A and B are shown apart, each in its own frame.
Chain A
Amino acid sequence: MNIFNNAALLIGVPLLFAFSIPLFGLISKELAKWVTLLTIGFNATFSLYILLAHKYPAIVVMGNWLPPFGENLYIGPVAALLVSVISVIGLLIAIYNLWAIKRGDVIRFSILFLMFTAGASGMVLTGDIFNLFIFMEITGISSYALAAFGPERRALGGSFKFLVVSSIGSTLYLMGVTLIYTQLGTLNIAEIAARINQTTPALLTFAGILIISGLAVEAELFPFNGWVPDTYTGAINGVSASLSGIAAVSAVYALFRIAMTVFGRSGGAYVTTYGKIDFMTVIAILATATVVIGELSALSQKNVKKMLAYSSMAQMGLIAVGLSIGNELGVYGGIFQLINHSIAKSMLFLIVGILVAAGVGENIDDFKGLWNRNPFLALTFSVGAFSMLGFPLFGGFWSKFAIVAASVQRGGWYDFVIGLVLFASVVEAFYYLRIVAYMFMSDTKQAKIKTPLIPAIPIFILAVSIVAIGVLPQLVGTFSAQAAGEFTHKMSGYVLNVIPTIVAH
């Protein structure tokens, strides 16, 4: 058990600066934006330092109360990797926001954006099942407010829908946590994970259903994802990018931390679950339905943002399919796909943001001839689209390949699952290639579009990293392999690193 208390700064610094933004705002609104950028920059640097200098596995102990008594944070391979992803994507979106948030209330936007990043990092880092709820609500409330931001009135409807569905979800989660607390008298994830066998099976099943349906709302799994299209379409593009690039990462993490570490049982090569229902099976069924429904709905959309929203839903389903396979290869593929998706989808939303600001519409037809109007945006959009559909030499290829390989390895009814997923991938390939074809094949007489410099920086970095991951998959692959080890080996990967003396029951 290593103790590395400085890691609490990853949550503390953004929260501190979030609430001191109004003071900086008194001086100048530009300063408030730069403070946001620097704060998230600190988070990105520090989390990359933790990841690359291999400071994990370590725990953060609050007030010298060792777990299971105090509240603790746990930095394992998964948390170190995902917190780096969250803060690096957050940093790039903050650079984009320097340009995008010109009008309106810059100060309130900056406060909310910092709170959002802090909450998402907290969800990934925390080692306490109730603190997970609190961080979920911090992320949630700030993202409802962010989603309502902007001049368009459709943002309000999407935000309200998100608020209602997501608060019901978190209330269900809280009920489930309470039921587990009545059985075991603890809220520490490691202790619950070690002693989960002592609970009454019926009550555990009920608690599991409540918790999984609560977490599935933010992880965008069917049938809890009705909010996705409206919210993503209504929100301004920087917010849609951060919803799909940041919030989705922490939501998937929370779902599978509960399903695999808390409820999981690593028997042989696969993780299965306790209780009367095998939750991994339930998640796999929901995730497959999400993929098929998401891709088919995306196909029929004429609005690019709505199409990206449905595609985001389908990708979350694919990630959940990968993780629910339960062997190391599947979890490796799922985490890798999560990172690829968050890079590519946030890039696509940022590109749409530039185009909308330049007066190009949001419909597919408006993308016709984009190659002639602005080659940079057309190229980067195609890079993102190719990564999404898993074209070789782009990031998404390796993760999709790993998920398919893992399903074949697992066999049984996963053959059916992967068949449906591959069918949906064909649909996905069709609608992404349709846009790419529109951009390159059509001729247009319309005027050229200038690329503004500041938002081009994050888009360029994201596009380069997609190609870099595609050529050298070990850049992310080594870390996701370690993460897969943590998820699939419940005791040695997680519990014993937090409480070394505990005995599994």
Chain B
Amino acid sequence: MMEVFLQNWIYLIGAISLFGIGLYITLTDENIFKIIVGLNIIESGTNLFMIAIAWHPKAVMPIYTATNHLVVNGKVVSADPLPQSLVLTAIVIGLGTTALALTIGVKIFEKYGTLDVRKIKEAKR
């Protein structure tokens, strides 16, 4: 019973928890680099969520070969390939955002001499 539950839900629960952890870090932390890490955790959570909904415990790979039958007794048994391709796009976008965020973080450190959000707010202009 527990095993079935874990098989079906563990990835979804994990993905949502990652999302929550990331959101918590992003909203509460005062260090700019930790905020960026939080953003990355949020993105990982979303990507894992998308992969998890396309998958079920007995799924086969979505490639048709002589021995790998995608449809058994009229039911599709393969994993859904579309969310996986969407995740590839989302990962690339996440990479771009992270790179830009780190660049801005470095610039902020050069100009303000600190990475603490509160101190940046106190420094006028």
User: Per-residue CB proximity of A170-200 to B under 8 Å, as 1/0?
Assistant: 0100110010011000010000000000000
* A144 cross-chain contacts in B, Cβ below 8 A: 100, 104
Given A167-B39, A175-B46, A160:B108 Cβ within 8 A: yes
A134 at the interface (CB under 8 A from B): yes
A157 at the interface (CB under 8 A from B): yes
In the complex, what distance in Å separates the CA atom of A125 from the CA atom of B15? 32
Give B104's nearest chain A residue, CB to CB: A160
User: Per-residue CB proximity of B96-113 to A under 8 Å, as 1/0?
Assistant: 110011001101100110
- State the majority secondary structure of interface residues on B: helix
Give B89's nearest chain A residue, CB to CB: A134
In the complex, what distance in Å separates the CA atom of A168 from the CA atom of B53? 21
Contact A174 B46 (CB under 8 A): yes
With both chains docked as a complex, state the minimum distance between the C-beta of A471 and any C-beta of chain B, in angstroms: 42
**Count of A-B residue pairs with CB < 8 Å:** 73
In the complex, what distance in Å separates the CA atom of A177 from the CA atom of B98? 22
B contact residues, range:
20 to 34
In the complex, what distance in Å separates the CA atom of A175 from the CA atom of B90? 11
Contact B104 A163 (CB under 8 A): yes
A153 at the interface (CB under 8 A from B): yes
In the complex, what distance in Å separates the CA atom of A145 from the CA atom of B101? 9
In the complex, what distance in Å separates the CA atom of A153 from the CA atom of B113? 11
Contact A178 B104 (CB under 8 A): no
Contact B46 A171 (CB under 8 A): yes
User: Per-residue CB proximity of A133-155 to B under 8 Å, as 1/0?
Assistant: 01001000100110010001110
Contact B104 A168 (CB under 8 A): no
With both chains docked as a complex, state the minimum distance between the C-beta of A260 and any C-beta of chain B, in angstroms: 25
Residues from 62 to 114 in B contacting A, C-beta threshold 8 Å = 82-83, 86, 89-90, 93, 96-97, 100-101, 104-105, 107-108, 111-112
With both chains docked as a complex, state the minimum distance between the C-beta of B53 and any C-beta of chain A, in angstroms: 5
* B60 cross-chain contacts in A, Cβ below 8 A: none
A156, A171, A182: which contacts B42 (Cβ < 8 A)?
A171
Given A137-B93, A171-B46, A164:B111 Cβ within 8 A: no
B49, B96, B112: which contacts A175 (Cβ < 8 A)?
B49
Contact B43 A145 (CB under 8 A): no
Contact A164 B46 (CB under 8 A): no
B23 at the interface (CB under 8 A from A): yes
Given A152-B125, A153-B111, A160-B32, A168:B42 Cβ within 8 A: yes
User: Per-residue CB proximity of A190-234 to B under 8 Å, as 1/0?
Assistant: 000000000000000000000000000000000000000000000
Contact B125 A148 (CB under 8 A): no
In the complex, what distance in Å separates the CA atom of A137 from the CA atom of B96? 10
Give B23's nearest chain A residue, CB to CB: A168
Contact B104 A159 (CB under 8 A): yes
Contact B112 A153 (CB under 8 A): yes
A141, A156, A181: which contacts B111 (Cβ < 8 A)?
A156
A residues apposed to B, CB below 8 Å: 130, 134, 137, 141, 144-145, 148, 152-154, 156-157, 159-160, 163-164, 167-168, 171, 174-175, 178, 181-182, 187
A–B pairs, 25, beta carbons within 8 Å: A130-B86, A134-B89, A141-B93, A141-B100, A148-B104, A153-B108, A153-B112, A153-B125, A156-B108, A157-B108, A157-B121, A160-B32, A160-B105, A160-B108, A164-B26, A164-B39, A167-B97, A168-B42, A171-B46, A174-B46, A174-B50, A175-B46, A178-B49, A178-B53, A181-B53
